[in-house]
Amino acid sequence: MNPYELAFPAPSFPIASKDFDDGGPLPPSAYQPANESPELSWGPLPEGTKSLVVTAFDADAPIPGGLWHWAVKDVPATAGGLPHGSTDLGVALANDLGVRAYTGAKPPPGTGTHRMFVCVTALGVETLDLPPEASLAMLNITMIPHTLGRAVMVGTSRP
């Protein structure tokens, strides 16, 4: 199941990566221990977009609710994308592993193919007012009234 089918509805916009194809395998650099976020490009963005949130979510992690690998808020709407291994655009929130950065895939043995949903959400505000210790659930809830669009692509990983 696509977890974004349950999310607040939003129009889609284009997203792409030089590092992987939608539905294809993530590059080795997107695994642990390299922990390098994939290159992303997007656009055109919905009219009125002032900032973006970029997330990566493993829907097939063998724990209830999946695993958030990455969350960056307040990415400028003018960015046009994120370079491979990006660390300096926007404000990183702690992922489910307690790291304020991208944490690579590392599916446990015997769990099969995992789907990493990489999502870029266009917002009508320049910043999301969240405390530094905000949970990713709080991030997702706070985005709802400001969401103008969403772009999603999926990369796969194997143990």
What residues make up the domain containing 69? 3-157
What is the tens place of the pLDDT at every residue in 75-123? 999 999 999 998 888 999 999 999 999 999 999 999 999 999 999 999 9
Residue-averaged pLDDT of the chain: 95
Instruction: Output the domain CATH number for residue 67.
Output: 3.90.280.10
What is the tens place of the pLDDT at every residue in 1-28? 788 888 888 999 999 999 999 999 999 9
The pTM score is 0.95
Percent of the chain with pLDDT over 70: 100
Instruction: List % helix, strand, coil for the chain (3-state, nearest 5).
Output: 10, 35, 55
Residue 148 one-letter amino acid: L
d(CA 20, CA 16): 8
Q: Is 3 helix (H, G, I), strand (E, B) or coil?
A: helix
Closest CA to 70 of 47, 50, 91, 51: 91
- The domain total for the chain is 1
